[in-house]
């Protein structure tokens, strides 16, 4: 879980995180066992207050910028604390068809 731990550290270092769930979904795709290439991230931070989804994603991508060459797919749910209280479910990612 080297890449997953790096994602966790970078997000926590760069954002005021109140909740962070990082799920390695690589096993759902056509990759070797124990790969760390496909991630689903739910991040709750009031740093996202009054920002569009595009702006929120840009902040997250900037935080993990140094890892983007190691990651093939990165699904983001970036929400505020109040949005999390309304809907706390983590989006699921589909299995790869190949």
Question: Tell me, what CATH number does 82's domain have?
Answer: 3.30.300.90
Write the DSSP string, 47-69. GGTT--HHHHHHHHHHHTGGGTT
Band (97; pLDDT cuts 50, 70, 90): low
The chain-wide mean pLDDT, for the chain, equals 86
pLDDT of the residue at 14: 97
- Residue at 61 is within a domain: yes
pLDDT of 44 strictly over 90: yes
- Residue at 98 is within a domain: no
- Residue at 93 is within a domain: no
Domain range for 19 is 2-86
Cα–Cα separations (whole angstroms), residue 68 to 61, 63, 64, 73? 8, 10, 7, 9
Number of structural domains found in the chain? 1
Nearest to 80 by CA among 49, 37, 38, 50: 49
pLDDT of 35 strictly over 80: no
pLDDT of 1 strictly over 70: no
- Residue at 97 is within a domain: no
**What does the pLDDT look like over 72-87, one tens digit per residue?**
889 999 999 999 888 8
């Amino acid at each position: 879980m080297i890449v997953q731990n790096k994602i966790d550290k970078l997000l926590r270092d760069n954002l005021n995180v109140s909740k962070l769930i990082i799920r390695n979904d690589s096993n759902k795709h056509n990759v070797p066992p124990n790969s760390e290439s496909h991630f689903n991230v739910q991040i709750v931070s009031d740093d996202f207050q009054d920002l569009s989804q595009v702006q929120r994603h840009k902040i997250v991508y900037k935080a993990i910028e140094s890892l983007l060459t190691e990651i093939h797919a990165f699904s983001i749910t970036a929400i505020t604390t109040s949005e999390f209280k309304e809907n706390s479910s983590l989006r699921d990612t589909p299995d790869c068809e190949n």
